Structure 1
Amino acid sequence: MADVTMPQLGETVTEGTITQWFKNVGDAVAMDEILFEVSTDKVDSEVPSPVAGVVTEILAAEGDVVEVGQVLCRVGDADAAPAAVPEAAPAPEPVPVPEPEAAPSPEPAPAPAATPEPEPAPAPDPVDAPTPATTDGLILSPVVRRLIADNGLDAGQITGTGLGGRITRNDVEQVIQARAAGSTPEPAAPAPAAPTAPAAATTAAPAPVAEAPRPAVGARDQVVPLNNIRKRTA
């Protein structure tokens, strides 16, 4: 018989909460088949059976908070019967006591009609614990299967990090986050600014100053010296 305990799921994890049982007492279980799912403040994980056999005892219910190392169920051989609940010892039969003779009493008044007792409500039919779904040979819990179906993922493309390489909820959420990050378009690079043409320097050169024409001395002109009369007249 093998004891299945609460596993150590992290260095700082000391306890966890049982969220779901996949097996009941008396159910057959194969080696590495999922027994229950446990949730901690760090990660959710599915715990498989270490051996093949029959579940003989379940020591914690769904919703219970259990410590690391605590025995949660026991798995025995396939021919082992589940632990029987001890029957209560039968109560001793009462010894009849002779009744004393009573004096005759007056006739009692008629008793009111007895109210019929209500019939007890029928007990609800037991609900079988869900078994993990399989996809292409992969064993998936209902939580993981629902995440894969809701997000349109392919279970065969997801790498499992759980016990025995099983796909956990954390594995599916990482794939969803990676796909969302890859679909965001990158911002377009800004167009380069057109170069500004430098202003052409237009400095007008000063116009040349034309020289006044000088009277030319012809070859036929004759210079006559002034005499005294012409000097006085002039």
Structure 2
Amino acid sequence: MQNNILIIDTSTEYCLISLKMNNIIYNKIQYSPCSHIKYIIKLLNNLLKENNITLSQLNLLGYNLGPGNFTSLRIGIAVIESISYIFNTPKIGVSHLMILAEQSWKITNIRNVISIIKCNKNLLYFSIYKRNYKGLWIGKKSECLLNYNDCLKKIILLQGKFALISNIDSHIKNNIQKNLNKNLQIIFLKKKISSSEDIITIISNFILNKKKIKKYYKINYIKNLFY
């Protein structure tokens, strides 16, 4: 049984650390653009000290695999991998796009979710996830890197009811709304800051469904560009 779960997410300009103990979640968050390395150990130590727990007492580690900010993402992953190596603690990495799908589900209860994260001014990280009745998200293979026009083309071909969660600009959202077909309904959501608790939910469902924990998780580079 996974009693004590530590989560780290440094994929954005925020440094997020969460600890789940006895079904209660404790959080630390610090706005730290370009300075995650300055805060992460302090936040971690404070969180453990306040809850009277040591690293050796952790049963499971979870973290955001990306995509995300290049340097900050690796800082959080390095901390998780170090703890895992020293204390032989199992770890589970979760895609940032899947985390967004979980955020969306908690708000809308819509099982079909389009997750989008801005990569740069020309490209978007894109995925379509579906939550099955066991609480697991299916859609990792849909993750790709698209330009804005191809993203729109993929969306307008869909049918059914979807939630779309993202940090895209309003003019892109308006362009999608203008081109919706009559068989497609989309509920638009803005990406939230925090995702640590969503990672806890994902990996808890993972454990509940007795999924095998990998020994190694690759950073979620999404380099493929589909046209």
TM range, normalised to the smaller chain?
under 0.3
TM-score by length of 2: 0.21
TM-score by length of 1: 0.21
Greater relative CO (CA pairs within 8 A, separation 6+): 2
Higher CA-based Rg:
1
Of Structure 1 and Structure 2, the greater strand share is in 2
